[in-house]
Structures are given as C-alpha cells and as structure tokens.
Structure 1
Amino acid sequence: MAVGAVLLTALLTLVGYLLVKWRKTMRYWQELGIPCEEPHLLMGSLKGVRTKRSFNDIWTSHYNKFRGTGPFAGFYWFQRPGVLVLEPSLVKQILIKDFNKFTDRGFFHNPDDDPLSGQLFLLDGHKWRSMRHKLSSTFTSGKMKYMFPTVIKVGHEFTDVMGKYVDKSPIVEVKELLARFTTDVIGTCAFGIECSSLKDPDAEFREMGRRSLTDQRLGPVGIGFVNSFPNLARRLHMKMTAEHIEKFFMRIVRETVAFREQNNIRRNDFMDQLIDLKNNPLMMSETGENVNLTIEEIAAQAFVFFAAGFETSSTTMGFALYELAQNQGIQNRVRTEIQEVSEKYKGELSYESVKELVYLDQVISETLRLYTVLPVLNRECLEDFVVPENPKYVIKKGMPIIIPAGAMHRDEKFYANPNTFDPENFSAERVKERDSVEWLPFGDGPRNCIGMRFGQMQTRIGLALLIKDFKFSVCEQTTIPMKYNKEMFLIASESGIYLKVERV
C-alpha cells in the first residue's frame, strides 16, 4: 500500500510538473510582452486549421493584426513558441544576411524510416548542404534547354486536348486539365515515363499525384506530435508519408533506374542527372570516400520534384487564366506578344523565343503575388538571435520561424491597390525600385527554390500555347470572388475553375 501511495504521489507530481511546464511554454510570449494571440492548448496559434480556417488564413490574419507592432509577432507552432515575421528587414536578415543561423526549415523528416521524407525541401544541416550542392547542376539553364523540347511536345498535346474539350462544350474546368498537363511534363522529365494523364484523366500517375497532396499517414494529433517533438518522433520511428504513396514511388524509381542502367538509356532529363549522381558522385565525405546517392535518396528527390512541380505550376496557370478571363485587355496584350514572338521565330516557340515573352512573365509574376502558392516560408533558428536595433525581440535557438510571404504580397505598403491584378507591378522600372524580399514566391537567398527555372519554363510554355490559340472569359460557373481550399498547406481553389473557352 505504501509503495502504491509513493507511485501515485510520484505520478501526480510528474503530471503537475508537466502541466506547469506546458502552461509556462504556452505563456512564453505573453510574459515577455511580445504581441501575440492567446494560443490553443493543443494547436497553439493553429486553432481551427483545415476545418474553419486555411493555413493561409492564419498567417494572413496574424500578419494583418500585428504588422507595425515590431519586427515579429509571437506565434505558437503547435506546442512550440515561434515567431511570425512582420518586417522585410528581418526577412532579409533571416534569408540572406544571417542565413547561416537560419539554414534549416525545421520540418519533420525521418529518412531512415520514411525514405521519401529525405527530400531536399525537408532536409536540414549538413545533409541539406550536401544534397543542394549535388543537385544544383541539374537545374542550370543548359539542363533546362535539354528538357525544353519535351515540355513543348507535351504542350502541343495539351492544346489538342483543350481543343477537343472546347469542341464539345465552351465551358471548361481548366484546373484539372492544367494539373494533367504538368503531371505529364514532370512525369516525363522526372521519371522518363509517358504518364498519359492528358489522354486518360484516371491515369495512375495523375491519381497518385493527386493523392500525394491529400493522403496522410497521421491524423491531427499525430501531425501535431511530430511537429512539436520531432526528435522524439524520430526515435519512435514515426513516418509521415502514406504507405501506398511510398510504395508506388519507390517501385517506379527502382524500375526506372534499373531499366535505364541495364539498357544504357539516356534522355537528358532529371532522372538522368540523379542516376549520374548515383554512379558518378560530385562530392567526397569527410573521410575522403565517394558519396553516392542511394536509390532511396533518388526516389526522395524525384518525388519532391514531381509533387511540388506539378501542383505549384498548374495552380499558378489556373489562377493566371482566372485573372486573364476577367481582364480581357491584359489577355489581348499577352496574346499579341505571343503571336508577334511566334511569327518572328517562324511560328514555333523555341528556348530563346520564350525569353522574349516579357509581358507574359509580368502576368505570371503578378499571379504569383496575388496567389502565392506556397504562402509561407519556414525556417528554424540555430542559435539565439537578437533582432538588430530591437534588443527586446530575441529569437531563441530551436524556434520555428514563419515568413508570411502571401500576406506581405497583399500589403499596400509594398504594392499599391494590393488586391487588384496589375502586371505593371512587375515592369522593369518597378522591379528595380523594390527590394527582392518583397516578392517571395520562390523564397530568396541560398535556400531559394532550386526548381524555379523549371517551374517558370513549364508555366510560360503552357500559358503561351493556350493563350495563342484560345480566348478565356468568365461564365456563370466562374467563382467570383475566389474561394480557397481550407485543407491544403498550399494555396488552391476550393473547387474547379470554370471558364468559357473559345478558339481564336
């Protein structure tokens, strides 16, 4: 009985200690006098996410509520005190000037148990530096030029499919069609596989691409746990990737690599670059031994290239068409530019001619401002950091950092009439006047988006081929104003984007 009483007392003491520590953690910013909202005990500042509010709703509401109060506001990333950046000067410190103190994103990853989480986007520390160095040569302008004909080929197939839809009905749901186009492009460039999702909307690659963004291995409690206690979660061998997603992409990569190596096949695509890194490493380990990519590392990089590339580009193209449908004058100017450049190069778009589509680039940049597909940049502080000229504001080691790029893009302090679609925001003159960190769809600094060139290339090609041959306008089924998906981390429309489409 005495032993039982002792154990009960010890248990109650432990529970009491944890509750006190928990409450102290969730009062961190309040006690320091840093502006913040009262956190939810379990979800922190993410209360209501994916049910009542989207992630972007949360970043934006915090930004709008606290901007002007200081360099950052307090934020609770589940059970972890973090910061939500409010000023461009601090953004620049984090992304560029003091980058070495903020190299990590701080997302959960566990490559030993969850191989697809060993992707460049999630890796931290030395592993990230090593992988970034290895992959940097795969996204040069020269490599983009090699892949250009493949994207053009899929692009022509895309316009043929669009034409068939238009012949059946002038009202077309463009969001899904665009996702099928980018799925075929990236499936071909990343895996060397003819995905055929343009011809077959139920193609396996399209289905798995769709599910890779929605299917999750863990529920809300599990997600909260791995984000709050990532090191413990790794020790517990927890995984984030859904089992069927992991099996599919691991199988595809193993089969593709084996087939190319056995048959000595080269396609000058992303998979070729990864196979080269597997067989001909660019780096040495600290002991001087060769460091080759493993098949799991190849699969992880191919997976993130596919999952991130098809969704971000297709979403951007969808929102661009949505805005052009409402702004016929802008659409006509884009079409005229495309036709003039096309005629100059004998009716075909070439790698060189696409660079001359200056106004189309402005349209894409403005779309990315208004609809920033990845609306937040995440970092983790690696050592205590005192914000310059603000000694009260200290970012402690291990704290998650949120840079609400999408919210900043709609701040009238940086863009006049911020909710109006205006490609002139990206005229050469205005871009020169603007600090680079005031436009962040691809991030900035050493950890910016490595696939930026490829994403821009396929978006330019897809839009150029479409706008050259088709006119887009609104119809009764067009959702105005836009309604957004609450469940996705990325910006996405709640439903399809329906437009009236006519041949030019």
Structure 2
Amino acid sequence: MPVFSFLLYVIVGLVTYLLFLLKKRLSYWQSRGIPCEEPNWFLGNITGIQTSRCFADIWISYYKKFKGTGPFAGFYWFQKPAVFVLDTKLAKNILIKDFNKFVDRGFYSNPKDDPLTGEIFLLEGHKWRVMRNKLSPTFTSGKMKFMFPTVIEVGKEFINVFEDMVKQSSLIEVKDVLARFTVDVIGTCAFGINCCSLRDPKAEFLAMGRKSLVEFRHGPLGVAFLNSFPNLARKLHMKQTLPDVEEFFLRIVRETVEHREKNNIRRNDFMDMLIELKNNKLMKSEDGEMLINLTLEEVAAQAFVFLIAGFETSSTTMGFALYELAQHEDIQQMAREEVLAILEKHNQKLTYDCMREMKYLDQIISETLRLYTVLPVLNRDCVEDYEVPGNPKYVIKKGMPILIPAGAIHRDADYYPNPDIFDPENFSTEKVQQRDSIEYLPFGEGPRNCIGMRFGQMQTRIGLSLLLKNFKFTVCPETQIPLKFDKKSYLINSESGIYLQVEHI
C-alpha cells in the first residue's frame, strides 16, 4: 500500500473517531433522558454569545424554558456536559449542605507561572481553604470600621468632582465617574496608593484595572483550552494574565510593601492586613490549623482580586441604582429623606454606625442587585459523583461544571411578584424573613460566598448616600430606556453609558 494512501486512511480514521467522540459527548444528556437543548457542535448551548445575546439572556431563557422539568437541566458549556440548576433546594445542597462535594469553582489558575491567578476566587481545594482562613479575619465588621474613614475621604473628593461636573453640564454620564470613585477607593485600601482617577480619567491604575477585565491574553480557542484541559495547560506553563498587567500590579505591590515596611507605616487598610499575613510567622485558623505566611506574590494576587472583583461590581450597582431612582423619583425622595434625617441625628457626620441605620437605602441596594445581578451565574465544579436526593435519575458526575443561575432566580415570579419591576419593598424586614436565603444570591451563599461582601456594601452605601444628599437625578432624552446590556461581558453591564439629568440640591 502506498504511503500516501496509508496516511490518508489513518487521517480519515482519526477524524471519524474524533467526530464519534464529539457526537457522543454532545448527546450525553439526551442519552440519559435529561431535558436539554440540542447543542451547537462548537458553542454548545451558548450560541449567539457576544454577538446576539449577553450571558444573562442565556441563563434567563434557559431557566424559563426548563424550570419544572426536574432539579436540573442538561447544559453544554462548549462541548462539555454541565448541570444547569433549576431547583433552589438543589442549589442549597450544592452551596451549603453538601458544599464539600462542590468546593471548587472550576476556573483555571496557575500561581506558579502566573502569580496573579493565585487569588482566592480561583484557588481550589485545600489551597482555597487555607487562603480563606487567612483572609476571613480581614473582612470583619471591626476591620471595615478601620477602613471606613479612608473610604469617606475618597467619597469627599468624589462629591467635589461630581459638583464640578454638574457645574459644567447637568447631563452626566454616571457610569464612568462611579467607576473612577470605586477604583480610587480600592486603590487606596488595597494598594495603598492615591490613584487620582477621579481627577484624571486616564490614570494608569484605572486603565490597567479596566484592561484586566476587558482584554485577554488568549483568544476564544485558548480560553477554551485552558478551561477544558487545565492540568495540561499548567504543564505547558500557560498563563492568562496580560504581561503588562502582571508587571504593573506586581511592581505596585512590591513598592508599597517595601515602603511601608521600611518606614513602619500603618494605615489600617487591606494592604496593612496583607502585610501582617506576609510577616506573621505564627498564624492559626479558627480550627487551630497552623497557616504558612503569605508570599509577596500571594499578597499581590489578593490585592489584585480585591480590585477586579470590587471596582466594577460596586460601580455598576451604583449606576443601576441611580438609573432606577431617576425613573422612580418618589423612591429617590424617600431614600434622600432617610439619609438627611440620619445625618441630622449624627450632626451631619457620616459614620460607620449611622450608615448602617439607613435601612431603606439598603433595600434599594438589595433590589438593585436583584434586578441587575452583577454576577448572574454561580459556578461550581463537582469533586465526586453526586446523586440528587430523591432523584436517582439525576446524577452529577465528578469534574462536571455546575451553573446556578442567580440572576434568573431573582427574576422568578414564584419568589418575587412582578419580578421585572423595581420595588425596594421586596426587601422589607417582613418579606426578607419570609424568604429562604437561597432565593437571593448576589454574593453567593455558603462557605464560598463573596469574602469582600461587607466592603462592597460599605463603599456602595457611602457613594449612594453622599450622592442622594447632594444631588437629584432624573431621566432625560439621552437616557436609554430600557437599557441594553453588554454582550461581551460575563458580568451584567450596560452596553453604553448611563446618562442622567443631575441637579445640585
């Protein structure tokens, strides 16, 4: 047989075998009688992503289509079979009751070659538990009180900048200036530097923060490879952080740590706490386990995730809140009256304790997070085979990705009447007490919930209370109603700016 013919047979045979494996993989759920949509051979069930649909649309439409068919529906994340959770009882098992079987998120990380991926959000198993034990004490209410004055100082500058903008034009694009506010807050608390992005929209720190969220080291095929074959990718020393982003943040942290240690500087901020974790040789977790101190690279990774997880989510939440308040002036006025009354009670000084008295403002923030769930899906990875209680037909196999559609649950009329209407009364004390906590998941739930939740809530409360005290917001012809969402972002984000009419009070 000629060599060419032999090679042709081998190639045809190999292609046929690969197509057989692909077809088998893409019929996993169908062969088991689990409801699912027929997948696209390459994109699975996320067809239209980044072109005609945003991620939130995918989760909501899939949830509505299959809710009631079982505890979960089959789903294909590209070519990989995944579990799409439909039942809040199963979600509660995964996030809380049977957490040890679903401890990982399933995202790629490679701290050895890519130091900034050694952050707590991406870590798995024992490494995650150790880091969580180390960091948990830094996010207590007591530590938030220490950082509160620092955030207030940035808040004062924020209002000064906002006033200057209103003097120039009553038409304000709030999304950008809110992002600059939260970047300056996190820059000073997590990195110990004055970013000055409120005064300088082109500040390097802001540019690098945004770049880390919207630009990627690899294209779609590279991302798919990292997440489909993480062990092989680590053996190949593959990185996902952009080179200039890595260099910038490692340098900033190194210089900050060296400066504080050399000059014995303390600011009672997040960086101080990370430095303590770096230098304290005798650390114990709550259960008595000895913990090794952080390396400089681990310090940088935790500061980095503090930035990327905090500035976009908090600023986006404030932007959506103002967008809704501008359309509901009665609700806006009620919130303003609460802020003014509490400030008068405390001699016009915004303190940590008086901020916590602003119950109606909290309801507004909670309702904003319900309607605009910044992270619309929670990801978990199954670490051992799991049979859904009471449903032996439904088995989650080891290594299978799990999707819990938090944003879709938040817009389910079974849990929230008139779910597409902005109504802070959804979070009155009475209604919260009647609702299972698993029906509200903007920060996740269970042992792997958002560790920075208190800080995010704090800077959001400060930002909104200061704005409501000083300004009135209304819609204008430039306000996009309804909002269109960014199709390229995994998070909920508006496609364009949020333009509002602003009047100084």
State the TM-score, normalized to the length of structure 2.
0.97
Residue identity matched to 2:318: M
Are 2:196 and 2:203, in contact at CA under 8 Å, matched by a contact in 1? yes
Residue identity matched to 2:239: K
CA deviations 1:183-225 (Å, max 9, x no partner) are 0000000001000011111111111111111010011111122
| Cα distance in 1 between the residues matched to 2:243 and 2:397 | 36
Number of equivalent positions: 501
Q: Which residue of 2 aligns with 1:459?
A: 460
| Cα distance in 2 between the residues matched to 1:246 and 1:35 | 43
Residue identity matched to 1:328: E
Q: Which residue of 2 aligns with 1:348?
A: 349
| Cα distance in 2 between the residues matched to 1:392 and 1:152 | 54
Query: Is 1:393–2:394 an aligned residue pair?
Result: yes
Are 1:63 and 1:86, in contact at CA under 8 Å, matched by a contact in 2? yes
Query: Is 1:241–2:208 an aligned residue pair?
Result: no
Q: Which residue of 2 aligns with 1:160?
A: 160
Runs of at least 5 residues in structure 1 that lack an aligned partner in the other structure = none
Are 1:72 and 1:86, in contact at CA under 8 Å, matched by a contact in 2? yes
Are 2:340 and 2:469, in contact at CA under 8 Å, matched by a contact in 1? yes
Q: Which residue of 2 aligns with 1:447?
A: 448
Q: Which residue of 2 aligns with 1:130?
A: 130
Q: Which residue of 2 aligns with 1:188?
A: 188
Q: Which residue of 2 aligns with 1:251?
A: 251
Q: How does 1:176-255 map to 2 (within 5 A)?
A: 176-255=176-255
Q: Which residue of 1 aligns with 2:297?
A: 296
Q: Which residue of 2 aligns with 1:424?
A: 425
Q: Which residue of 1 aligns with 2:261?
A: 261
| Cα distance in 2 between the residues matched to 1:455 and 1:227 | 28
In the TM superposition, what is the alpha-carbon distance from 1:19 to its structure 2 partner? 2.0
RMSD over aligned Cα atoms: 1.4
CA deviations 1:114-171 (Å, max 9, x no partner) are 1111110011100100100000011011110000001111111111111111111111
| Cα distance in 2 between the residues matched to 1:404 and 1:341 | 37
In the TM superposition, what is the alpha-carbon distance from 1:2 to its structure 2 partner? 6.4
CA deviations 1:236-263 (Å, max 9, x no partner) are 2221111111111111111111111111
SS in structure 1 at match of 2:218: coil
CA deviations 1:279-318 (Å, max 9, x no partner) are 114249xxx9861211111111100001110100000000
Residue identity matched to 2:367: E
Give identity over the alignment, percent.
66
In the TM superposition, what is the alpha-carbon distance from 1:38 to its structure 2 partner? 1.1
SS in structure 1 at match of 2:379: strand
In the TM superposition, what is the alpha-carbon distance from 1:48 to its structure 2 partner? 2.1
Runs of at least 5 residues in structure 2 that lack an aligned partner in the other structure = none
CA deviations 1:395-451 (Å, max 9, x no partner) are 111000000000110010110000000000000000000000100000000000000
SS in structure 1 at match of 2:438: helix
Q: Which residue of 1 aligns with 2:146?
A: 146
| Cα distance in 1 between the residues matched to 2:75 and 2:156 | 47
CA deviations 1:31-81 (Å, max 9, x no partner) are 111111111212211222112211111111111111111111111112210
Q: How does 1:9-24 map to 2 (within 5 A)?
A: 9-24=9-24
| Cα distance in 2 between the residues matched to 1:91 and 1:402 | 9
Are 2:260 and 2:266, in contact at CA under 8 Å, matched by a contact in 1? yes
In the TM superposition, what is the alpha-carbon distance from 1:5 to its structure 2 partner? 5.8
Query: Is 1:32–2:18 an aligned residue pair?
Result: no
CA deviations 1:266-286 (Å, max 9, x no partner) are 1111111111111114249xx
Residue identity matched to 1:421: F
SS in structure 2 at match of 1:415: coil
SS in structure 2 at match of 1:152: helix
Q: Which residue of 1 aligns with 2:366?
A: 365
Residue identity matched to 2:501: K
Query: Is 1:408–2:409 an aligned residue pair?
Result: yes
Are 2:44 and 2:78, in contact at CA under 8 Å, matched by a contact in 1? yes
In the TM superposition, what is the alpha-carbon distance from 1:8 to its structure 2 partner? 5.1
| Cα distance in 1 between the residues matched to 2:26 and 2:230 | 18
**More deviation in 169-178 or 43-52?**
43-52
**More deviation in 317-326 or 253-262?**
253-262
